[in-house]
Structures are given as structure tokens and as C-alpha cells.
Amino acid sequence: MNLLRTDLQTALQNLHVGAQESADNLRDLAEFIGDDEVSQLFSRLADARDDLADGLANAIRDAGDLPAAPNSEKEAGEHLIHRIRALFSADQTVSLIRQCLEAEEHLHQVLTECDALNPGAPYPHWRKTVSDHLDHSRTQLEACLKKHRR
């Protein structure tokens, strides 16, 4: 293992940590929200995100690095902020779904910034895999939001 990461290793690490943070956030919100249907959606999305993070961890190992763990203090602070925002909103469920959509956009931005995963990189399928995963998650969250805004 080198002391310095390659662009590819850095990109994979950023995606991996982002996916792990997202899964942890979704799981936390699933436990917090009072709506069972939305809780189940958040849990399913968290499980799928964990699977994605596991695949990325394997790709990191294949690229000659070890996967990093998210910053637990940062995550705890973010979880607290999400809960406070929801508590002060007019509709807690809608607020939490919107916050999840914002988090999806953040992870999409991380993907966009991963220039090392362009079509010429050794792992081009990860760009498509993560992008397809985010599109699918966003579609489910938007449908859930539409249903609860009525």
C-alpha cells in the first residue's frame, strides 16, 4: 500500500465514504420517522446503499488501498441537524424525505467530482453503477414525497 493515493483510489474512497454516510443517515432517519411506510423505504434504501458501499470497498482493495470509514462525529452532528430540522417543520415526513433528496444530490455531486472514474479509467462501471443506483433511489424518494405532499 502506497502512502499517496492515486486519483482512482481517491475517487473510489470518496464514493465509498459518501455511500456509507448516506446509508447511515437513511438508517438513522428510518428509526426516527413516525411513518412506517417511509421508514421501510428508508431502510430498504439504506440496505441497497450498504451493498453499494461493500462493492466499492472491494474495488478499493482491488485498486491497492484499504477502504476508509466515515467520520462518526460528523455523522452524529448531521443526524442531529436532520432531526432538529424535521422537528421544526410543518410536516416532519415531508421534511425528512426532502432532506434525503438533498443527500442524494450531494452524493451525485461526489460522483460528478470523481474524474478518475471517467470511461477511460480502470473501473468505468462504477460511475454507471452509482449513477443508476442514485437515479433509482431518487425516483423512489420523489414518488414517496409526491404521495405525502397531498
Provide the number of structural domains found in the chain. Answer: 1
2 is a domain residue: no
pTM of the model: 0.87
Q: Identify the domain containing residue 86 by its residue range.
A: 7-148
What is d(CA 50, CA 56) in angstroms, rounded to the nearest whole number?
Answer: 10
Q: Are 25 and 78 in contact (CB under 8 A)?
A: yes
Higher pLDDT, 82 or 138: 138
Q: Looking at the domain assignment, is residue 86 inside a domain?
A: yes
Q: For the chain, what is the mean pLDDT? A: 88
pLDDT tens-digit series, residues 85-136: 767 776 888 989 998 999 999 999 999 888 767 766 667 788 889 999 999 9
Residue 1 maps to a domain? no
Quickly count: other Cβ atoms within 10 Å of residue 119's Cβ.
7
CATH code: domain of residue 90? 1.20.1260.10
Q: Name residues whose C-beta falls within 8 Å of residue 27's C-beta, 6 or more positions apart in sequence.
A: 42, 43, 46
